[in-house]
Amino acid sequence: MGPSRMNADTVDDSSHAPQRPDVDIGTGTSSPGTVVSIRGSVVDVRFDATLPPIYNVLRAGPEGRIVIEVLAHRDARHVRGIALTPTQGLARGMTVRDTGGPLKTPVGKGILSRMFDVFGNTIDHGEALSDVQWRSVHRAPPPLTQRSTNSEIFETGIKVIDVLVPLERGGKAGLFGGAGVGKTVLLTEMIHNMIGHHEGRSIFCGIGERCREGEELYRDMKAAGVLPNMVMVFGQMNEPPGSRFRVGHAALTMAEYFRDDEHRDVLLLIDNIFRFIQAGMEVSGLMGQMPSRLGYQPTMGTELSRLEERIANTETGAITSIQAVYVPADDFTDPAAVHTFAHLSASVVLSRKRAGEGLYPAIDPLQSSSKMATPGIVGQRHYDLAQDIRKTLAQYAELKDIIAMLGLEQLSPEDRKVVARARRLERFLTQPFFTTEQFAGLKGKLVSLEDALDGCDRILHDEFKDYPESALYMIGTIDEAKHIAKPGHAAASATPGSPLNAQEAPPPAGTLASGVKPHLHAPTPAHP
């Protein structure tokens, strides 16, 4: 399937000659234009002959260092564009050249293990790029006839996700949450867990997050030895909105190359898709468009779909994408969050409350959902177990109010059993991460789906009712609980017949010694 499938779009460049846009300062055919106004990132340019088409890249300033993308034709003589670079030094009357093509990004074998900015410049201080072609970042999604759908599970090795929110191979999963609830940590852990068995390529796209994070990730990936199959692209929060708005397209162009040209499976990680929407909002505001609800751009839905629709599967390869979604002010009805939800096959919701209790990963199973969680896909046993777990957790959530008001003693024995199971499940579904080893002090654990299901099944059958809850906290497989606390010992410290006492009420002196680890509380954040 060579070039024919690549021509699905209308704006792809036809010439595959290697070309560095940063030195290409005017191969366009149209005669140069003149800057007529500059407001922040928005630049109006007058062209007396022909207007450059939408998406064409214009260059101005010394060595063409200021890059402007045409976004609108104002009238027969003027275009309005958004600068992808800072506009310092740009002045009215300055000459602007049309490069004759859209923004391009390098693709090919040569991009592996490298780190790029939105222009395809390497930012890892490595040697010059070789063995690459440059491709337009504006491309159409594959036509429906070329798409494939087969529902297959993508195991992550993270218990709570694999059991309750199974991800789809070739699907899109979102990690939703407010600031500091662990989205980036979870995303990094997934890269870590999946890259080992994942034959394909991974692309990490950082949009509008802290620049430090990108640098750290690069170092971590290098140390973990996974860099050779990975590409990183960043447009972080210090960069102009135009750059943050386009960096996602650049990353997708690379992902499409691996899918369509190398016929591989691609893992595309985006941190954070909300920043893409936000950059679009800034661009739209600067362009003078009337804002829509909550100040968002009227074109938010279209912009997001243009990007998300390109994350698609064909017969030759799949792009599996995991996207962190920042939720402003923890408000899940925010239009940006709602629009993003609509594109995903699995939504993993992180809750601040759980993070506060130290139940990491702070996933709220009752809010999270996956369209893969059906008997036809995961199998009857997994489905039934997941339903039981959800039911138990939901019952516990309902009982919480009563417990808070009247105390556990007022519950019926049956309800108390539910509470005991739910609390053990909650703890068993925590997991120490490889990526947090340094500050959590616990060795990371990867757990197979089978082991995770087995553990939940045994908890639901009360096998661990005589173990202290803490024995199940931050472990891998369920058998580790047996090494931490012997049932005999736990049974001795718990009042026989009412195992809850030992955990729900303040435990008698000495009870904690057997099981509670020093990390029962939330680890101190690694940064202020």
Ligand X SMILES: Nc1ncnc2c1ncn2[C@@H]1O[C@H](COP(=O)(O)OP(=O)(O)O)[C@@H](O)[C@H]1O
Active-site residue list = 183, 209-210
User: At its nearest, how many Å lie between ligand X and the CB of residue 380?
Assistant: 31
Tokens representing residue 175 in the block: 């990690």
**108 touches 267 (CB < 8 A):** no
**347 touches 174 (CB < 8 A):** yes
CA distances from 400 to 105, 422, 483 (A): 53, 11, 30
For residue 72, the tally of other CB atoms under 10 A from its CB is 15
Q: Is 427 in the site for ligand X (CB under 6 A)?
A: no
CA distance linking residue 383 with residue 440, whole number of Å: 32
Q: What is the DSSP letter of 525?
A: P
> Could you tell me which stretch among 11-19, 115-123, 181-189, 390-398 binds ligand X (CB under 6 A)?
181-189
User: At its nearest, how many Å lie between ligand X and the CB of residue 430?
Assistant: 8
CA distances from 294 to 334, 339, 509 (A): 8, 13, 54
> Residues near 330 by Cβ (< 8 Å), separated by ≥ 6?
177, 178, 352
> Could you tell me which stretch among 19-27, 178-186, 229-237, 288-296 binds Mg ion (CB under 5 A)?
178-186
Beta strands 266-271 and 201-207, pairing class: parallel
Number of amino acids touching ligand X (CB under 6 A): 16
CA distance linking residue 114 with residue 121, whole number of Å: 10
**474 touches 442 (CB < 8 A):** yes
Q: Is 436 in the site for ligand X (CB under 6 A)?
A: yes
Select the residue interacting with ligand X from 21, 177, 214, 365 (CB under 6 A).
177
User: At its nearest, how many Å lie between ligand X and the CB of residue 362?
Assistant: 7
**87 touches 39 (CB < 8 A):** no
**167 touches 154 (CB < 8 A):** yes
| Residue number, nearest CB to ligand X | 182
User: At its nearest, how many Å lie between ligand X and the CB of residue 399?
Assistant: 27
User: At its nearest, how many Å lie between Mg ion and the CB of residue 179?
Assistant: 8
- The sign of the CA dihedral 437, 442, 443, 448 is negative
Spatial CA neighbour of 324 closest among 269, 405, 385, 246: 269
Select the residue interacting with ligand X from 26, 180, 328, 444 (CB under 6 A).
180
Per-position x/- string for 387-426, each x denoting binding to ligand X as judged by CB under 6 A, each - no binding: ----------------------------------------
User: At its nearest, how many Å lie between ligand X and the CB of residue 208?
Assistant: 12
Taking CB under 6 A as the criterion, which residues in 440-479 touch ligand X? 440
Q: Is 157 in the site for ligand X (CB under 6 A)?
A: no
Mapping DSSP to helix (H, G, I), strand (E, B) and coil, where does residue 382 land?
helix
The region, left, alpha or beta by phi > 0 then psi within -120 to 50, assigned to residue 462 is left
**CA Rg value for the chain:** 26
Q: What does 342 interact with, of Mg ion, ligand X, none (CB < 5 to 8 A by kind)?
A: none
Select the residue interacting with ligand X from 79, 181, 268, 472 (CB under 6 A).
181
User: At its nearest, how many Å lie between Mg ion and the CB of residue 168?
Assistant: 23
Strand intervals (E) in 65-163? 66-73, 78-83, 95-102, 104-107, 115-116, 133-136, 153-154
Nearer to Mg ion, 239 or 265 (CB): 239
Q: Is 184 in the site for Mg ion (CB under 5 A)?
A: yes
Q: Is 323 in the site for Mg ion (CB under 5 A)?
A: no
Bridge partners for 226 per DSSP: none
Q: Is 185 in the site for ligand X (CB under 6 A)?
A: yes
**230 touches 203 (CB < 8 A):** yes
Select the residue interacting with ligand X from 102, 182, 248, 468 (CB under 6 A).
182
Q: What does 247 interact with, of Mg ion, ligand X, none (CB < 5 to 8 A by kind)?
A: none
User: At its nearest, how many Å lie between ligand X and the CB of residue 361?
Assistant: 5
Per-position x/- string for 224-243, each x denoting binding to ligand X as judged by CB under 6 A, each - no binding: --------------------
Nearer to ligand X, 283 or 350 (CB): 350
Would you call 422 exposed, middle or buried from its count of C-beta atoms within 10 A (0-12, 13-18, 19+)? buried
How long is the chain? 528
Q: What does 138 interact with, of ligand X, Mg ion, none (CB < 5 to 8 A by kind)?
A: none
Tokens representing residue 74 in the block: 């104002």
Taking CB under 6 A as the criterion, which residues in 343-372 touch ligand X? 360-361
Q: What are the φ/ψ torsions at residue 2 (nearest 5 degrees)?
A: -80, -120
Q: Is 428 in the site for ligand X (CB under 6 A)?
A: no
Q: Is 435 in the site for Mg ion (CB under 5 A)?
A: no
Nearer to ligand X, 186 or 408 (CB): 186
Nearer to ligand X, 284 or 436 (CB): 436
Q: Is 525 in the site for ligand X (CB under 6 A)?
A: yes
User: At its nearest, how many Å lie between Mg ion and the CB of residue 348?
Assistant: 14
Q: What does 360 interact with, of Mg ion, ligand X, none (CB < 5 to 8 A by kind)?
A: ligand X
| Residue number, nearest CB to Mg ion | 184
Tokens representing residue 504 in the block: 């729900």
> Could you tell me which stretch among 176-184, 290-298, 416-424, 520-528 binds Mg ion (CB under 5 A)?
176-184
**How are the residues of the chain apportioned to helix, strand and coil, as percentages rounded to the nearest 5?**
40, 20, 45
Q: What does 525 interact with, of ligand X, Mg ion, none (CB < 5 to 8 A by kind)?
A: ligand X
* Site of interaction with Mg ion (CB under 5 A): 184
* Site of interaction with ligand X (CB under 6 A): 177, 179-185, 360-361, 433, 436, 440, 523, 525-526
